[in-house]
Amino acid sequence: MDSGWWFGLGGLVIAIGTVVARLVWKYRRRGERDHEELVDEHYHMDYEANERGKRIEEYVKIIVSRADSASRTQGASFYLDGIVNSSAGDMFESGLKALVKSNWNRAITAFENALTKAENETRKAVIHNFIGFAYNKKQDWERARGVYADGLRFAEVAGDKDAELDALNGIGLALMYLGDYEEATVKLEKGLSLARGVENEGCCGAFLGNLGLVYMETGDYAAAEKHLKEALEIHRRLGDPLGEARNLGNLGLLYRNLGDYTAAEKAHKEALEIDRRLGNSLGEANQLGNLGLVYMDTGDYAAAEKHLKESLEIHRRLGNLLGEASNLCNLGLVYMDTGDYAAAEKAHKEALEIHLRLGNPLGVAQDLGNLGFLAEHLGRYETAYTYLKRSLDICEEIGASPADAAMARNSLKKCVEKLHAKGIDPDSLPPLDLDDLPLIVPDDDSAPSASPKPDGTP
């Protein structure tokens, strides 16, 4: 897939939240990918039951009760090996509750506390994988990679193949988001080989699907389609409709990248039908969002806005803040394309507020980047510079993918040239204050006119 800003991860995604929107305005929009995390595969459907009214406490009991009896042939690893009966049990349950509520920081703290009580390598591996899962959901890929690497070491010492599979998958995903596609492929291929060796078809499907995403990232669309179709076939053979919907959605993204919008729409609608049949509201929201992007690409902005708003409403009802932020970003892009710049600024700033509250630095950088693009498009180069400079600084601090940092850097270079032409030294401009963001579109709506094109370029 082409480079773009990564809009969160309602993201990215892991079985708790399927699909992630990654887009930019001036560049081609990125759709919501649905990667597979092995660590939470068993409680995804229970999450949907919880969404329909089951109390959190009861939900966590379901997770714990299913932990030791979970079938290894279905992928995932909930083998707690008695941890729920140890002094770490309450801490571990607190971490699970926090995951359900998408409170990643609280989950990390709880699991780290549980880790101090872990008595053997298997437990340490399991807990490290959950911590890595939370960091992946935060889009803190560098920390996720490191924690999963620790989990992998403990799993190898313990000889726990399930934990090893979880860790290899998590490392591969983190590397993919960091832009290290070669090493991501190595880890995911190793996981696929291990899954085949232990005859774990569910995990084979997950690794094949995630390899398909890596190939999409590198532009090898033939390999991406091959792997995604193999993953789809496995999930269908296993009678796993969630996996089927996930891979249909990713195939839809592939076809959208190829410009085959008819095939993309068909795949997303098939995935949407499955998710609705299952009562999988998260999947429904994500596929509605992906359809919105297809319609945005084809210039049907009314349909795009309709589908994105429906997606936004569901994410808000679920309390899925990352999904909410993702759709706000995408709606901001619709408003940019249609010339409603005040609405675009409002949507992107609402998304920024959510990412700040979640402590999601990558999301913050992306929102600042899109606000900078808006200001640049409207000729407000001083304001654009402050937004883009802060965006680039954050990208470099957290080790964002080279493609993401390059986009901010290129736009920043253009702003510098414009400022120098006006006799303004960019270094003399005050840094951006996140607590007092400058207005881009004035209240008097005196912003210079612009004629957006269907692809979003000014």
Same domain for 379 and 279: no
Q: Which of 284, 299, 325 is the last residue of a domain?
A: 325
213 shares a domain with 116: yes
The pLDDT tens digits for 83-115 are: 333 445 678 888 888 877 778 889 999 999 988
Residue 30 has pLDDT above 70, yes or no: no
Claim to verify: residue 220 and residue 351 sit in the same structural domain: no
**pLDDT level of residue 273 (50, 70, 90 thresholds):** very high
Task: Summarize pLDDT for 8-28 with one digit per residue, the tens.
Answer: 222 222 222 233 333 333 433
70 and 206 both lie in a single domain: yes
Location of structure tokens 């959901």: 137
Q: Provide the domain limits for residue 397.
A: 339-458
Query: How much is the pLDDT for 33?
Result: 65
361 shares a domain with 303 = no
Question: How far apart, in whole angstroms, are the C-alpha atoms of residue 201 and residue 222?
Answer: 23
**Domain identity same for 287 and 367:** no
Q: Residue 388: its pLDDT value, please?
A: 96
Average pLDDT, the chain: 80
Q: How many domains does the chain have?
A: 2
Domain check: are 297 and 344 in the same one? no
Q: Which of 26, 27, 16 is nearest to 59 (CA)?
A: 16
User: Could you tell me the end-to-end alpha-carbon distance of the chain, in angstroms, rounded to an integer?
Assistant: 22
Residue 61 has pLDDT above 60, yes or no: no
The reply to whether 126 falls in a domain is: yes
- Give ∠ CA 10-34-304 in degrees, rounded to 5: 65
Does residue 87 belong to any structural domain of this protein? yes
* CATH label of the domain that carries residue 369: 1.25.40.10
Asked if 287 and 361 sit in the same domain, the reply is no
Q: For residue 146, tell me if it sits in a domain.
A: yes
Least confidently predicted of 102-106, 169-173, 180-184, 233-237: 102-106
CA distance 169 to 213: 13
